C-alpha cells in the first residue's frame, strides 16, 4: 500500500515537473514585497516566509523543488522574508474574495462538476452585482481566477482598499452576506384604509410596502428576488411542493400556498407584502439567501476577505489535488469559462490507474464513466483522479 502511494506521488510530481519546466508563471505585481509559501509532494507542513528579488529566482525555485501547491501573500511587506509576522512590517493588502463549494450548503451531495457550476454562479453574483454594481469598482482593478480546486478567487486591487484594516474589510463582508440586515430597512408600513369610530378616523389595517425593483442596493435586490420567487411558486403545478423544496416545513407550506391567492400575488407584484407573519418571514429569509453571497463555511468561519495577511494561490501554478491550473479569467470570458475544459493542462496520453468504485465526470468535452478496477485513462484524467485520491497509479 505504501509503495503504491509513493508510486502515485511520484507520478504526480513527474507530471508537475513536465508542466513547470516550460510554464509561464505570472508573478503578482511587486512580487519582491510578497511572502511566498509552498507545500511539497511527500512532505508535511508548509515552507513559508520566503521572498524573491528576481523573477528568475522564483522560477528556478519552482523548477527545482516542484511544489504540490504554491502561494503568495495578498499583503505587501517591507521585509517579506522575515520569519516572524510582526517583523515583516505590513504595508497594505489586496482585497481577496475566495469562494469555495465547501462554503455552500448541501453541495457535498453533488458531483464535482455541479459543485463548480453552483460556486461559479455565486462568484458571478459577487463580481457583477456587488463589486462592480453596489461598490462600483472599476473592472481594471479586478483580477479573477479559477482556484484550481473547488472555487474562484477575486483580487480587488483598487488603491483605495490597500490600507483597510480587518474591521473595515469585515464591514464589506457583512454587506455582501447581508449579515444583520433588518426587515425594517427593506420594508415600510403602509396604512390600508380607514375605520371610523364616532367622528374619529383610525387606520383600518397595515401592509408592508416593498421597494421598487429598480432601486439600487439591497432594497431593489430583495424586491426583485421576492417577485421572482412568487412567479416561480405560482407557475409550479404544485405550489405546496415547491415551497417544501425551498425548505419550508409541511405545515407552513400548506398555509403559505393557501395565502398566495391570485389577488395577493398581484399585490406583492404591485409592491405590497401583506403583513402575515408566515409570508413576511418566508419571503424575506428566502430572498436574502438567494441574493446574498456565501463567503465562509459557517458563522464561526472567518472569511478570507477579512484577513489582511492571507496567502492565496499563485496564478498559473498547479493545484496539487486536481492538476488543474490556477487560471486567470478575463471578465468578458467569465460566463463561458468551464474549468473542466479551460483549466486542464495535461495531455491525452494513456496512463493505467486502479480505482475502487465507479466514477463519472465530464472533462475536455468528453464523458468518462470509469469502472471499478484497472484501466487506461487519459493523462489529464489520471492526474485528477490520483491527485484527489479517487484512484491510485496501477
DSSP string, 369-384: EEPSEEEEEEHHHHHH
Flag whether 368 is in a domain: no
- Answer yes or no: are the C-beta atoms of 273 and 187 closer than 8 Å: yes
- 130-139, 162-171, 221-230: which range is least confident on average? 221-230
Instruction: Specify whether 55 is located in the same domain as 116.
Output: yes
Whichever domain contains 158, its CATH number is: 3.90.920.10
Instruction: Specify whether 307 is located in the same domain as 287.
Output: no
Among 339, 321, 319, smallest CA distance to 329 is for 339
Phi, psi of 101 (to 5 degrees): -60, -25
Among 256, 97, 110, 246, smallest CA distance to 173 is for 97
Instruction: Specify whether 264 is located in the same domain as 118.
Output: no
For 304, which DSSP code?
A: G
pLDDT tens-digit readout, 12-40: 999 999 999 999 898 999 999 999 999 99
- Catalytic residue at 263? no
Residue in 165, 301, 348, 349 annotated catalytic: 301
Instruction: Specify whether 261 is located in the same domain as 319.
Output: no
Flag whether 356 is in a domain: no
Domain count, the chain: 2
Quote the pLDDT of residue 311. 97
Among candidate residues 291, 325, 356, the one where a domain is terminated? 291
Instruction: Specify whether 149 is located in the same domain as 192.
Output: no
Instruction: Specify whether 305 is located in the same domain as 285.
Output: no
pLDDT tens-digit readout, 337-390: 999 999 999 999 999 999 999 999 999 999 999 999 999 999 999 999 999 999
Flag whether 390 is in a domain: no
Instruction: Specify whether 82 is located in the same domain as 119.
Output: yes
Instruction: Specify whether 166 is located in the same domain as 241.
Output: no
- Catalytic residue at 252? no
Answer yes or no: is pLDDT of 298 > 70: no
Which residues in 265-372 belong to E strands, given as ranges? 272-274, 311-313, 328-329, 350-355, 359-363, 366-370
What mean pLDDT, rounded, does the chain reach? 90
pLDDT tens-digit readout, 121-154: 999 999 999 999 999 999 999 999 999 999 999 9
C-alpha cell belonging to residue 355: 480505482
Q: What angle do CA 64, 98, 309 make, to 5 degrees?
A: 65
Flag whether 364 is in a domain: no
C-alpha cell belonging to residue 227: 417577485
Flag whether 313 is in a domain: yes
pLDDT tens-digit readout, 180-191: 888 778 887 766
Flag whether 381 is in a domain: no
- 60-69, 135-144, 255-264, 349-358: which range is least confident on average? 255-264
Flag whether 166 is in a domain: yes
Q: Quote the domain boundaries for residue 334.
A: 2-176+298-345
Quote the pLDDT of residue 246. 75
Answer yes or no: is pLDDT of 300 > 60: no
Instruction: Specify whether 207 is located in the same domain as 129.
Output: no
Among 216, 213, 193, smallest CA distance to 205 is for 193
- Answer yes or no: are the C-beta atoms of 248 and 255 closer than 8 Å: no
Instruction: Specify whether 310 is located in the same domain as 278.
Output: no
Count of H-run helices and E-run strands, the chain: 12, 20
Answer yes or no: is pLDDT of 201 > 80: no
Q: What is the rounded CA–CA span in Å between residue 27 and residue 56?
A: 11
Exposed / middle / buried, residue 364 (Cβ in 10 Å: 0-12, 13-18, 19+): middle
Instruction: Specify whether 251 is located in the same domain as 102.
Output: no
Among 51, 49, 39, smallest CA distance to 86 is for 49
Q: What is the rounded CA–CA span in Å between residue 257 and residue 236?
A: 11
Flag whether 360 is in a domain: no
Instruction: Specify whether 84 is located in the same domain as 60.
Output: yes
- Answer yes or no: are the C-beta atoms of 28 and 316 closer than 8 Å: no
- Catalytic residue at 111? no
Amino acid at each position: 500500500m505504501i509503495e503504491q502511494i509513493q508510486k502515485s506521488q511520484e507520478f504526480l510530481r513527474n507530471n508537475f515537473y513536465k508542466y513547470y519546466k516550460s510554464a509561464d508563471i505570472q508573478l503578482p505585481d511587486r512580487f519582491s514585497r510578497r511572502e511566498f509559501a509552498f507545500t511539497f509532494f511527500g512532505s508535511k507542513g508548509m515552507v513559508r516566509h520566503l521572498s524573491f528579488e528576481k523573477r528568475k529566482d522564483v522560477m528556478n525555485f519552482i523548477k527545482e523543488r516542484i511544489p504540490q501547491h504554491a502561494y503568495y501573500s495578498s499583503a505587501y511587506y517591507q521585509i517579506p522574508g522575515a520569519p516572524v509576522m510582526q517583523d515583516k512590517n505590513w504595508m497594505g493588502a489586496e482585497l481577496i474574495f475566495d469562494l469555495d463549494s465547501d462554503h455552500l450548503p448541501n453541495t457535498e451531495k453533488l458531483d464535482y462538476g455541479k459543485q463548480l457550476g453552483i460556486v461559479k454562479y455565486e462568484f458571478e453574483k459577487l463580481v457583477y452585482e456587488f463589486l462592480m454594481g453596489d461598490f462600483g469598482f472599476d473592472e481594471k482593478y479586478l483580477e479573477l481566477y479559477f482556484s484550481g480546486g473547488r472555487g474562484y478567487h477575486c483580487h480587488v486591487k483598487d488603491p483605495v482598499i490597500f490600507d483597510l484594516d480587518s474591521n473595515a474589510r469585515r464591514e464589506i463582508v457583512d454587506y455582501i452576506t447581508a449579515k444583520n440586515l433588518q426587515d425594517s430597512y427593506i420594508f415600510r408600513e403602509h396604512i390600508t384604509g380607514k375605520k371610523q369610530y364616532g367622528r374619529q378616523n383610525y387606520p383600518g389595517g397595515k401592509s408592508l410596502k416593498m421597494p421598487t425593483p429598480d432601486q439600487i442596493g439591497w432594497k431593489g435586490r430583495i424586491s426583485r428576488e421576492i417577485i421572482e420567487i412568487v412567479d416561480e411558486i405560482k407557475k409550479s403545478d404544485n405550489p405546496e411542493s415547491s415551497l417544501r423544496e425551498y425548505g419550508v416545513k409541511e405545515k407552513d407550506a400548506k398555509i403559505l400556498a393557501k395565502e398566495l391567492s391570485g389577488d395577493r400575488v398581484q399585490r406583492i407584484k404591485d409592491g405590497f407584502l401583506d403583513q402575515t407573519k408566515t409570508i413576511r418571514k418566508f419571503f424575506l429569509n428566502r430572498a436574502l439567501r438567494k441574493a446574498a453571497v456565501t463567503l465562509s463555511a459557517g458563522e464561526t468561519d472567518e472569511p478570507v476577505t477579512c484577513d489582511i495577511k492571507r496567502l492565496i494561490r499563485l496564478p498559473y501554478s498547479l493545484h496539487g489535488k486536481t492538476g488543474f491550473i490556477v487560471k486567470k479569467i478575463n471578465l468578458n470570458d467569465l460566463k463561458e469559462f468551464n474549468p473542466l475544459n479551460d483549466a486542464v493542462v495535461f495531455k491525452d496520453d494513456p496512463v493505467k490507474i486502479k480505482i475502487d468504485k465507479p466514477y463519472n465526470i465530464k472533462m475536455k468535452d468528453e464523458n468518462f464513466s470509469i469502472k471499478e478496477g484497472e484501466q487506461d485513462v487519459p493523462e489529464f484524467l489520471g492526474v485528477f483522479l490520483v491527485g484527489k485520491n479517487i484512484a491510485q497509479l496501477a
